[in-house]
Amino acid sequence: MAAKKGRVFSGARPTGRQHLGNYLGAIRNYVALQEAYDCIYCIVDLHALTTLKDTDHLREWTYEMALDWLAAGIEPDRGTILFVQSHVPQVTELHTILSMVTPLGWLTRLPTFKEKVRQHPDNVNYGLVGYPVLMAADITLYKANTVPVGVDQASHLEFTREIVRRFNHHFGEVLVEPQAQYTDFPKVLGIDGRRKMSKSLDNHIEIAASPEEIERRVMQMVTDPARRYRSDPGRPEVCNVFTLHRFFSPDQVAQIEEDCRAAEIGCVECKRLFARNLADYFAPFRQRRAALAADPDRVWEILADGARRASAIASEVIAEVKEAVGLPSAR
């Protein structure tokens, strides 16, 4: 096998069954990166604790997410490490050490932090302030040089790079400064056609949905709001369905665009076509998912194995870090 370009690390909070936004914005990219990089993918359950009021769903959502990722083509058999953040507790050690070189102002000035404070003014906990420090620990614990993320994570990635520079300046060249690799797909809107697709807004379409469920959700999608009558010409450039056709209907998209502008195709017909293509695209995925779901213990075993492999790397790096900062080793 050709030498790999380096190590990728990325993580996502356990949100359960994945939707089209997760797939187009992250998972698809995670799968592709396995060709050229050694990849480590992490379900960041500790990060989820910073905002989840009730944590009853953490186990179930971790499992469902792992199922989706595996069925979508994350392949531990080909070297990729897939694991659950809390299964490798060295990350909390590194988090503590990095927190000592983190000026508090860097954290409280971050736009992501201010946004969370606006959303949950009654729950501004210490862990929430430290969210980016934990993320920096995730990445640096594995000396990853490439981090695929959405642009919404840009400030966190920049923070990580600054912390690495600061740490290395004080303690020597130990940590690796990672590069962000931003995903190219345009923002995926929900079925409301207005807001970003998200489970919490219930405007999402699950990639594991049955063809019937896909059809039901797709038919609810909002298209060009100015196109009131079937005879009105449509504007594909403002239509979320059209954006998705680009990906899921590559052979038909040029014709759809032309027909929409000429009012030769109506939104109902256009959405039916989209629903069918979407269901076809994910048919092999649904099959693999069903096979995996037949043996849930096996999925947890894959995650446990991932944690063992992640832990082997993490233990070496944490030892190096402790030595660099001057902590006395135990005998």
Q: Does 10 bind ligand TRP (CB under 6 A)?
A: yes
- What is the C-alpha R_g of the chain? 22
Task: Give the interface segment with ligand TRP, choosing from 4-12, 53-61, 183-191, 247-255 (CB under 6 A).
Answer: 4-12
| Complex with ligand TRP: residue 38 or 138, whichever CB lies closer | 138
Instruction: Please report where in the chains the tokens 């079937």 appear, as a residue.
Output: 230
Give me the residue whose beta carbon is nearest to ligand TRP. 11
Task: Give the interface segment with ligand TRP, choosing from 10-18, 48-56, 201-209, 258-266 (CB under 6 A).
Answer: 10-18
Give the residue from 48, 47, 49, 135 showing the smallest Cα distance to 98: 135
Report the alpha-carbon distance of residue 42 to residue 11 in Å, rounded.
5
Residue type present at position 103? P
| Complex with ligand TRP: residue 65 or 214, whichever CB lies closer | 65
Torsion of CA 227, 230, 234, 239, to 10 degrees: 70
Site string for ligand TRP, 30-59 (x = CB under 6 A): --------------x--x------------
- Beta strands per DSSP E along the chain: 7-12, 38-43, 81-84, 146-149, 179-182
Residue 157's contacts (CB-CB under 8 Å, 6 or more residues apart) are: 147, 149, 178, 180
Task: Give the interface segment with ligand TRP, choosing from 132-140, 189-197, 284-292, 303-311 (CB under 6 A).
Answer: 132-140
- Least Å distance, CB 154 to ligand TRP, is 11
The correct pick among 156, 227, 245, 271 for binding ligand TRP (CB under 6 A) is 156
The correct pick among 20, 139, 302, 317 for binding ligand TRP (CB under 6 A) is 139
| Complex with ligand TRP: residue 143 or 246, whichever CB lies closer | 143
